[in-house]
């Protein structure tokens, strides 16, 4: 019983910051749409707002993943959340696009560093038979954050502006920092720290690419790139795509809110299946579901078709994300787990940079939404294929 309470506390503390991070990323898609009107931005400038966030996430995931294998999971989680809170709050005070982009980079660094380290900490702190389910449930806080982001965007941005929305996302995250100070570090990291000397950053990077781990590393890098490329390309542009399809800004917020509700059952079903049928099954099945939904969303003409395909897109895509965060730390031993997971996430964030930029460029070239979403459909199928051919099942495996 004591262990179960500890797991719930760990899940809650780690999940709270995940929720705040999701609020920020979720609101960014709505803020981009609002800024395009207020600052008269073109599609390329809009794409850069999403991409600079991902550049910061790539840098943060790589650096803080390395640091977490040296300094510990807990201390890095506190630092990354502090970066996120400060960057988000300061970005609310900007009046120029260039300054806004600088603070979005800082926000991205905090967010990109936090997510793989948080999933690593939780993976190392729970029993093997519960590990996948707990990490997917951790990811489900992302859906709650997106839902809150959609509500804030729908009720706050039209009446009080995008600045108030950013301030609302920054202030509560400070409470999560307070909670994390009292959170224990990973028992596996503490044990490994007392048994071995700390290897250099270069040795850890080379170890990730050693013969023993090259195959899972290749698989993860392909998977992360394809998933993040398509996710940020599709979801950061979702409200704007709805506007392009003829709906008003307010209506597009309303419809995206409805689609966001489908993220929660996507996570919960993935959490159930991941311990019943395994990581590979959930990843491949949910990624194929995401690819098909993306294709139908891009080609949808009627409101009914848009909503149904959008709901299915949210359901399958976020379920796959949960499995991705559960699967990644399981590929490596404790000594390089933060490094391996962080590097894979960093490669994914490169995809997150290219996705929104590609959409902005293609829209200016008058490429159809149908073709754009077909590109994302193919990308997701490549990610599913990498898991199917290169991935190994890690369900209930004891972490080393």
State what percent of residues in the chain have pLDDT above 90: 18
Query: Of 88-97, 116-125, 369-378, which gets the smallest average pLDDT?
Result: 116-125
Contact 166, 31 (CB under 8 A): yes
Give 318's Cβ-side CA count (13 Å radius): 31
CATH architecture for residues 2-390: Up-down Bundle (1.20)
Task: Retrieve residue 35's tokens.
Answer: 């800024």
Mean pLDDT calculated for residue range 73-100: 86
CA nearest neighbour of 80 among 53, 57, 48, 103? 57
d(CA 17, CA 10): 12
Q: Is the pLDDT of residue 386 over 90?
A: yes
Task: Retrieve residue 97's tokens.
Answer: 């696009």
pLDDT of residue 293: 94
Domain ranges of the chain: 2-390
Q: Is the pLDDT of residue 394 over 70?
A: yes
Confidence of residue 225 (pLDDT cuts 50, 70, 90): very high
Q: Is the pLDDT of residue 193 over 70?
A: no
More confident residue, 397 or 228: 228
Mean pLDDT calculated for residue range 258-267: 80
Contact 274, 290 (CB under 8 A): no
pLDDT of residue 5: 44
Question: pLDDT tens for residues 8-39?
Answer: 777 887 787 778 777 877 788 778 878 888 88
Q: Is the pTM of this model over 0.85?
A: no
State what percent of residues in the chain have pLDDT above 70: 91
Confidence of residue 194 (pLDDT cuts 50, 70, 90): low
DSSP state of 183: S
Contact 292, 380 (CB under 8 A): no
d(CA 294, CA 378): 10
Question: pLDDT tens for residues 345-359?
Answer: 889 988 888 887 888
pLDDT of residue 2: 40
Q: Is the pLDDT of residue 217 over 90?
A: yes
Greatest mean pLDDT among 207-211, 352-356, 361-365 lies in 207-211
């Amino acid at each position: 019983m004591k262990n179960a309470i500890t797991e719930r506390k760990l899940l809650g503390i780690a999940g709270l910051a995940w929720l705040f991070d999701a609020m920020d990323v979720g609101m960014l898609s709505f803020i981009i749409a609002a800024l395009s009107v207020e600052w008269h931005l073109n599609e390329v400038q809009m794409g850069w707002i999403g991409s600079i966030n991902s550049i910061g996430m790539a840098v943060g995931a790589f650096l803080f993943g390395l640091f977490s294998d040296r300094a510990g999971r807990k201390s890095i989680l506190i630092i990354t959340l502090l970066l996120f809170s400060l960057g988000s709050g300061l970005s609310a005070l900007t009046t120029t696009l260039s300054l806004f982009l600088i603070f979005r980079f800082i926000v991205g660094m905090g967010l990109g560093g936090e997510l793989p380290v948080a999933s690593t900490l939780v993976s190392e702190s729970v029993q093997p038979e519960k590990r996948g389910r707990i990490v997917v449930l951790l990811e489900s806080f992302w859906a709650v954050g997106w839902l809150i982001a959609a509500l804030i965007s729908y009720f706050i941005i039209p009446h009080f502006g995008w600045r108030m929305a950013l301030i609302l996302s920054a202030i509560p995250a400070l409470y999560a920092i307070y909670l994390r100070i009292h959170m224990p570090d990973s028992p596996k990291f503490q044990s490994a720290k007392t048994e071995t000397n700390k290897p250099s950053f270069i040795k850890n990077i080379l170890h990730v690419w050693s013969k023993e781990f090259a195959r899972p590393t290749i698989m993860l890098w392909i998977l992360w790139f394809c998933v993040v490329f398509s996710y940020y390309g599709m979801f950061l542009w979702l409200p704007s795509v709805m506007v392009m399809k003829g709906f008003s800004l307010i209506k597009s917020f309303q419809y995206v809110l409805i689609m966001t509700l489908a993220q929660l059952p996507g996570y919960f079903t993935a959490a159930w299946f991941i311990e019943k049928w395994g990581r590979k099954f959930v990843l491949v099945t949910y990624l194929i579901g995401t690819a098909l939904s993306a294709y139908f969303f891009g080609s949808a003409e009627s409101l009914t078709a848009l909503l149904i395909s959008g709901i299915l897109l949210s359901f399958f895509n976020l379920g796959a994300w949960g499995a991705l965060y559960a699967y990644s730390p399981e590929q490596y031993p404790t000594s390089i787990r933060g490094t391996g997971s962080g590097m894979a996430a960093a490669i994914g964030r490169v995809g997150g940079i290219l996705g929104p930029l590609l959409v902005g460029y293609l829209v200016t070239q008058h490429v159809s939404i149908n073709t754009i979403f077909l590109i994302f459909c193919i990308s997701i199928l490549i990610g599913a294929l990498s898991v199917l051919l290169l991935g190994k099942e890690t369900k209930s495996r004891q972490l080393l």
